[in-house]
Amino acid sequence: MTEQLRLMAVHAHPDDESSKGAATMAKYVAEGVDVLVVTCTGGERGSILNPKLQGDAYIEANIHEVRAREMAEARDILGVQQEWLGFVDSGLPEGDPLPPLPEGCFALQDVAEAAGPLVRQIRAFRPHVITTYDENGGYPHPDHIMTHKITMVAFDAAGDPERYPGTGEPWQPLKLYYNQGFNRPRTETLHNALLERGLDSPYGEWLKRWDEFSRKERTLTTFVPCSEFFPVRDKALLAHRTQIDPDGGWFAVPMEIQQEVWPTEEYELAKSLVETSVPESDLFAGVRERL
Over residues 15-67, the pLDDT tens digits come to 999 999 999 999 999 999 999 999 999 999 989 999 999 999 999 999 999 99
Do 211 and 234 lie in one domain? The reply is: no
Q: Does the predicted TM-score (pTM) go above 0.85?
A: yes
Residues 118 and 230 in one domain: yes
Residue by residue, pLDDT tens for the chain (291 residues) are 457 999 999 999 999 999 999 999 999 999 999 999 999 999 999 899 999 999 999 999 999 999 999 999 999 999 999 999 999 999 999 888 889 999 999 999 999 999 999 999 999 999 999 999 999 998 889 999 999 999 999 999 999 999 999 999 999 999 999 999 999 999 999 999 999 999 999 999 888 888 776 667 899 999 999 999 999 999 999 999 999 999 888 899 999 999 999 999 999 999 999 999 999 999 999 999 988
Residues 115 and 204 in one domain: no
Let me know whether 175 and 209 are in one domain.
no
Same domain, 165 and 248: yes
pLDDT at 9: 98
Do 100 and 155 belong together in one domain? yes
Q: Is residue 38 part of a domain?
A: yes
The CATH number linked to 25 is 3.40.50.10320
Residue 290 in any domain: the answer is no
Do both 32 and 170 map to the same domain? yes
CA 29 – CA 10 distance, rounded (Å) = 16
Do residues 143 and 228 both lie within one domain?
Answer: yes
| 291 located within any domain | no
Give the domain range for residue 213: 184-217
Residue 113 within any structural domain of the chain: yes
Residue 13 annotated in ligand binding: yes
Same domain as 72, residue 43: yes
Domain boundary among 217, 241, 262: 217
Q: Are residues 163 and 277 in the same domain?
A: yes
Please give the tally of structural domains in the chain: 2
**DSSP letter string over 213-267?**
TTPPPP---EEEE-GGGHHHHHHHHHH-TTT--TTSGGG-S-HHHHHHH--EEEE
Residue 171, in any domain of the structure: yes
Based on the fold, state whether residues 240 and 207 are members of the same structural domain. no
Say how far apart CA 149 and CA 160 lie, in whole Å: 18
Decide: 127 and 284 in contact? Cβ < 8 Å. Answer: no
Same domain, yes or no, for 92 and 125?
A: yes
Q: Is 16 annotated as a binding residue?
A: yes
Determine, yes or no, domain membership for 98.
yes
Residue 79 inside a domain? The answer is yes
List for the chain the helix, strand, coil content (%; round to 5).
Answer: 40, 15, 45
